[in-house]
Amino acid sequence: MVVSIFGKPKEHSGSGRLQPLEAETQPSKQRTVLSNGTVIRGKISSNDHLVIDGQIEGSITVKNTVTVGKNGQVQADVTATTLNVHGKIIGDVVATDRVAIEPTGSIEGNIHSPKLMINEGAHFRGNIDMTQKSAAVERPATEEKEKRFDLISDTSKRATQGRPPLN
């Protein structure tokens, strides 16, 4: 006898008990699926893997993987560990591990991720920042401006003292 509930078919053990599904025995592999035809407007936050085949407008923050399926249409800023795009995203994307745009995928917005894979046939329009997010956040913009000013001042001083400017 084969039994299937929200997962792969499992063989009946013959002992009168059903074998547990993977998601029940391994909570880290749980996922939330927004199926085709589902429309959500608002803010989504989750610790689980999120699979989107419907439509979302708003913002998405997931401490795991987000997969936008071929039918998925997202008009939101997305923050996740890993992002796999087979559908369409309009909005900025931040991934702490990687972003993969598959051949049917499309992103129109800025990407901030240390790793990026754009497959042949994929569509992307925006800017890419592949610096580590923690490094970018640790140094405030004013500190960076001060360093630039110090460098310009040092170059000017060297030029007025008869030394060649630093390049």
Residue 139, pLDDT score: 35
Q: Are 93 and 76 in contact (CB under 8 A)?
A: no
b vs e for 8-47, b when ≥16 Cβ sit within 10 Å of the residue's Cβ?
A: eebeeeeeeeeeebeeeeeeeeeeeebeeeeebeeebebe
Count Cβ atoms within 10 A of the Cβ of residue 150 and give its class: 0-12 exposed, 13-18 middle, 19 or more buried. exposed
Q: Could you tell me if residue 126 is left (phi over 0), alpha (psi between -120 and 50 degrees) or otherwise beta?
A: left
Task: Give pLDDT < 70 ranges for the chain.
Answer: 1-29, 133-167
Residue 132, pLDDT score: 74
Residues belonging to the chain: 167
Residue 161, pLDDT score: 55
Residue 158, pLDDT score: 46
The letter for the amino acid at 7 is G
Residue 126, pLDDT score: 97
Residue 31, pLDDT score: 86
Residue 164, pLDDT score: 54
User: Rounded to the nearest 5 degrees, what angle is found at the Cα of 67, between the Cα atoms of 64 and 71?
Assistant: 155
Q: Are 88 and 73 in contact (CB under 8 A)?
A: yes
Cα-based distances in Å from 24 to 21, 27, 30, 157: 5, 6, 8, 68
Residue 107, pLDDT score: 98
Query: Domain coordinates of the chain in residue numbers?
Result: 31-130, 132-167
Residue 165, pLDDT score: 52
Residue 162, pLDDT score: 56
pTM of the predicted structure, to 2 decimals: 0.64
